Amino acid sequence: MTDAGANRRRTAGQRRTIRPKAPPPLGPDCALFLDIDGTLLELAASPEHVHVDADIATLLPALAKRLGGAVALITGRALKDADRLFAGLSLPIAGQHGLERRAADGSTRVHQPSLPGLRPLRRELARLAARHDGLLFEDKGATLALHYRRAPGLASHVHRALRAQLAMAAPGTAWRLQSGKGILELGPRGRDKGTAILEYLMEPPFVGRLPVFVGDDCSDEHGFVAVTRAGGWAVKVGRGRTQAHYRLPDVRAVRRWLAALAAADR
């Protein structure tokens, strides 16, 4: 085997066995993309119980100032829900896994295709949640979600039920299922956190900067792949298999890492 062939095999093996390490310090040339739940904020039993404390409310605008505005929130929450959490902070935000996106200039683009079966799916998911204690149905507009964090024993039932409902109400390939920590979502194909990040990277003030995405959940893997291919850093929060090359153990570690950049020029 040639040296080049051996090197290719070693490289492929390295890609298959990523062991994420602690990320290096952030610099002023990065474009920072941040998931919310489980990354900036501790997870709660339901989305409305998540708490935004004074520390993170102060840290985010400090980071935006340090990076010339190149900070965006990339979340599965609806845009209006993220704005409710961070009232008074007019940051760029991609909501519903990129289905709605507010740019740094304040303009908003909404990708809401008219998908077949939305009305019956909305009705059946609401009925399913009403029949089981601990399930929470969330209608985000373009996406529908069932939260089972308060009833983890229902996880398998939720996955089976949603697949069955999807097969009956909306056969075909227009919809996709997205799993997460105690949640299963239905939404249109073709949009995810990775596509949202790549769109930001073509716009000021993000263009030309080192992309860095921090997330904790399965849905964040799309973003990890996107920033890695763009030559940036993907940072996984917490345990679990991942495509990210870096890892931080928890929300507190994320905040310490981010705060070091915000304080660097003081």
Q: Which residues are catalytic?
A: 35
Which residues are 250's β-sheet partners? none
What CA–CA distance (Å, rounded) separates 66 from 95?
Answer: 24
CB 130 within 8 A of CB 225: no
What DSSP line would sit under 176-204, residue for residue?
EEEEETTEEEEEETT--HHHHHHHHTTST
CB 51 within 8 A of CB 37: no
CB 155 within 8 A of CB 181: no
CB 7 within 8 A of CB 232: no
Edge-to-edge order in the sheet of strand 136-139: 136-139, 144-147, 183-188, 175-180
